[in-house]
Amino acid sequence: MEKRVARLTEDIEWFLDHLRVEKGASEHTILAYHSDLTIAVKFFAGLELSSWSELESKQMLAFEATLGPGIARTTAQRRISGLRSFLKFLKKNGSGPKADLPSTSGFKKPKTLPKALQVDGITSLLQIPQCETPQGLRDRALMELIYGAGLRVSEAVDLEMGNLDFDSRSVQVLGKRGKTRRVPLPAETLAWLDRYLRESRPLLAKRASSRVFLSDKGRNLLRQTAYTLLDRYAQRANLPDGVSPHTLRHTYAVHLLKGGADLRAVQELLGHESIATTQIYTQLDMDEVRAKYRSAHPRD
């Protein structure tokens, strides 16, 4: 048993050195891989495996069976993913098993989308910041923008002053993969942005910056800061756990669709490449899509 463990561990160390030296992986990542792969080594050595090249599908299935009930899905996903990366590395270097690589699909945590806030919920949230302070006014304007324009948090905190257009009542947004889109701004959002830029931002700006939203120390506001602030306000508004900037973006989309907005238009406003993404993102029931279609199509 000890000899089998030692032989299997040699390849583990080779893989970890590859991650450390060639991939520049952090020590935290290295330790995580080492811990998970050590568990796999002990299991396969117990099945009398002496070399990774001998690994067969039935042994792989036996290992996957140990990742069932009693183990968190995220833990199971990490362990099977780590083993897959290791075996893929061995195969690439000519010493891996002939068996197929393990699949991670059965262990992935189902995607969960945030629930949209009701109108009274979003109203309560937006009223929490103390707008008598520069920070509170900034936070109100930030939340108004994310909800009023359906922006991703990164799009909001990275927004440049030159991309706000009060004359056309719109904002030019730099989205994923460098794609830009122009989004109209509601009157209420414009009013809060205007007040923030006049009353609050000059007090926060301690150095030259082209960003709209600045931190308490005058630096560029970070995504994580936006998450932290919103979580704090959501708790004070007695909203359910898990409210985030993404919740506001999701709420924007759902409120538009419930108000009768065209699905294609919402797709453009959100910056989605595929309309299928918009349907999933909003959890829109296909019955509702059909009903909108039938009410709008002249031939139905």
pLDDT tens-digit readout, 231-284 = 999 999 999 888 999 999 999 999 998 888 888 899 999 998 888 778 776 665
Catalytic residue among 147, 233, 252, 281: 281
Contact 87, 101 (CB under 8 A): yes
Give the burial string for 136-152 (b: 16+ CB within 10 Å, else e): bbbbbbbbbbbbbbbbb
DSSP-assigned beta bridge partners for residue 180: 174
Per-residue model confidence (pLDDT) at position 298:
59
Alpha-carbon torsion, ordered 169, 175, 179, 181, to 10 deg: -20
Q: Are residues 129 and 278 in the same domain?
A: yes
Asked if the structure places residue 241 within a domain, the reply is yes
Catalytic residue among 109, 176, 198, 206: 176
84 is catalytic: no
Q: Are residues 90 and 127 in the same domain?
A: no
* Distant-in-sequence, close-in-space partners of 96: CB < 8 Å, separation ≥ 6: 52, 53, 87, 88, 89, 90
Residue 102 has pLDDT above 80, yes or no: no
Q: Are residues 60 and 174 in the same domain?
A: no
Catalytic residue among 140, 250, 255, 272: 272
Q: What is the CATH number of the domain that holds 277?
A: 1.10.443.10
In terms of Cβ atoms closer than 10 Å to its own Cβ (0-12, 13-18, 19+), residue 197 is: middle
Please write the tens of the pLDDT for every residue from 43-74.
999 998 989 998 988 888 888 888 877 788 88
Per-residue model confidence (pLDDT) at position 281:
64
Mean pLDDT rounded to a whole number for the chain: 88
Please write the tens of the pLDDT for every residue from 152-184.
999 999 999 999 999 999 999 998 878 899 999
Q: Are residues 68 and 206 in the same domain?
A: no
Asked if the structure places residue 23 within a domain, the reply is yes
Asked if the structure places residue 112 within a domain, the reply is no
Indicate the pLDDT class of residue 134, thresholds 50, 70 and 90: very high
Q: What is the pTM of this model?
A: 0.61
Q: What percent of the chain has pLDDT over 70?
A: 89
Per-residue model confidence (pLDDT) at position 146:
98
Q: Is 160 helix (H, G, I), strand (E, B) or coil?
A: strand
Asked if the structure places residue 113 within a domain, the reply is no
Catalytic residue among 152, 201, 250, 255: 152
152 is catalytic: yes
Q: At what angle do helices 245-258 and 119-126 cross, to 10 degrees?
A: 140
Q: What percent of the chain has pLDDT over 90?
A: 58
Per-residue model confidence (pLDDT) at position 286:
47
176 is catalytic: yes
Q: Are residues 139 and 102 in the same domain?
A: no
How many domains does the structure of the chain reveal?
Answer: 2
Residue ranges making up the domain that contains 49: 2-107
Residue 110 has pLDDT above 60, yes or no: no
Asked if the structure places residue 83 within a domain, the reply is yes
272 is catalytic: yes
88 is catalytic: no
Q: Are residues 290 and 145 in the same domain?
A: yes
Dihedral sign for Cα atoms in the order 156, 161, 165, 167: positive
182 is catalytic: no
Q: At what angle do helices 27-46 and 73-92 cross, to 10 degrees?
A: 90
Per-residue model confidence (pLDDT) at position 105:
57
Catalytic residue among 249, 250, 252, 255: 249
For the record, the structure tokens of 300 come out as: 């139905």
